[in-house]
Structure 1
Amino acid sequence: MMATTAPNPMRTKRWSLRLDLFEEGDTTKVHATLDTGDNTLEVRTTAHRNPLDPPVPEIGDEYAAGRALIDLGHRLLRAGLADAAANDRSAGA
């Protein structure tokens, strides 16, 4: 007789992302915070307007926020890799 396992119950989590944008002259700064409930990841990024370009703050916001999201994504992937490696080591012990 083959043993059956019960299906894993569905799990729901909510992660919160906060982007705070600051304009200082030709520079847009972003402080991004990702709260997973278990951990908090934070990054700070900037975007600088080319002096030859017309001043359009929305563009600086998009560049700086995009860079922050990319940086958060990289940090999240590195955290996952580190956690997976630690889990492999503890499973083999």
Structure 2
Amino acid sequence: MGHTVEWPVRLYLVEEDGRTTARVALHTGTTTLTGQGTARCSPDDRDVPEIGDELAAGRALRDLAGQLLRVADKDLEGVGAVPPRRERRVAYGWSSAMA
């Protein structure tokens, strides 16, 4: 038996003073998860808003993905299954850029 659902996702981007903030909201029908991400333009770099949008959105989506996987792990534990072991990956670039 097939199963199809649609989970709407909304992505909001705000750019102000060389800093881009992203918020992504996922609605599953029973819950809403929200991811956050930011990016800032280095004073030495040319301001290209699209790059800030891409970085902030990517970081917000990565935050959302992590939350969704943690929810799935809890649900697996709730039905007696062992959740998969997840690798922690180190982010590329400057660590302060991830803030």
TM-score by length of 1: 0.82
Aligned length: 81
Q: Is the 8 A contact 2:12 2:24 kept in 1?
A: yes
Q: Using the aligned pairs only, state the percent identity.
A: 44
Q: Secondary structure at the match of 2:33?
A: strand
In the TM superposition, 1:12-27 aligns within 5 A as 12-27=4-19
Moved beyond 3 Å, runs of 4+: none
Q: How far off its partner does 1:11 sit?
A: 1.0
Q: What is the match of residue 38 of structure 1?
A: 30
Query: Structure 1 or 2: larger helix share?
Result: 1
Distance of 1:56 and 1:17 partners within structure 2: 25
Q: What is the match of residue 56 of structure 2?
A: 64
Q: What is the match of residue 3 of structure 1?
A: none
Q: What is the match of residue 5 of structure 1?
A: none
RMSD: 1.2
Structure label with greater radius of gyration: 1
Contiguous gaps of at least 5 residues in structure 2: 82-99
